[in-house]
Amino acid sequence: MNKQSNTYTIIYIIALVVVVGAALAFTAMSLKPLQQINADADKMRQILASVHIVPSSDNIKPEFDKYITRKFIVNADGEELSGDAFNIDVAQESKIKDSAERQLPVFQCKLDNGDIKYILPVYGAGLWGPIWGYVAINSDGKSIYGAYFAHQGETPGLGAEIEKPNFSDQFKDKRVFIDGQFKSVAVVKAGQKPLDGEDYVDGISGGTITSKGVEAMLSNCLAPYKSFLSNLSKD
């Protein structure tokens, strides 16, 4: 075949694309299990961060299994469902489904002192992309023990500050039930107070939209757990 011909050039390009594509596909498939392991480990780390536990080594699973004594799913009525809580797509549940239809993961944690906490995942939208986190509730179901928040693309020094302890530590002891009524935690401008009497934290200076995103995320994702938390209080 004439190597200077258009036919040869086209065949060469097609063969090259097929070979390179096959190599990339094989590489992606080979790395997928490792990527999933890393993603799961990061999720475990974030869950533990909500109860102020920092893993002592890179092998996080043994410590996760030590502290997370139960993983289960509930519905909006507080009834336990079958399924794998760890693999529930909280983003899809919160964005697509009505609160009454959602599968709600719960991670039960037992601390070294024997105290029980219930860790609930949350997901929402910031200024530039998704935000998410985990909120640890005390065993009476009435108040927050700890929280962890993360983001995909918020502005460093502004909205990205939701990742910092200076922000998340404010949530400790904030109530989600006041006078028997469920109330999410408000995120307000420093020096201000919410109008509805709920507990509140100071928002990020210069990160108003991200702060309001956190407030909306908590309201949207914690409200469906109202019956579950109320049952804890009764118990």
pLDDT means per 10 residues in the chain (235 residues)? 65 75 69 73 96 88 96 97 96 91 97 97 95 97 97 89 96 95 94 89 94 96 96 81
Provide the pLDDT for residue 190: 86
d(CA 76, CA 104): 8
Nearest by Cα to 207 from 191, 221, 189, 192? 189
Provide the pLDDT for residue 77: 96
Provide the 3-class DSSP secondary structure of residue 198: coil
Q: Which residue matches tokens 């809580």?
A: 85
Provide the pLDDT for residue 70: 97
**183, 175 contact by CB (below 8 A):** yes
Provide the pLDDT for residue 1: 58
d(CA 125, CA 213): 6
Provide the pLDDT for residue 35: 67
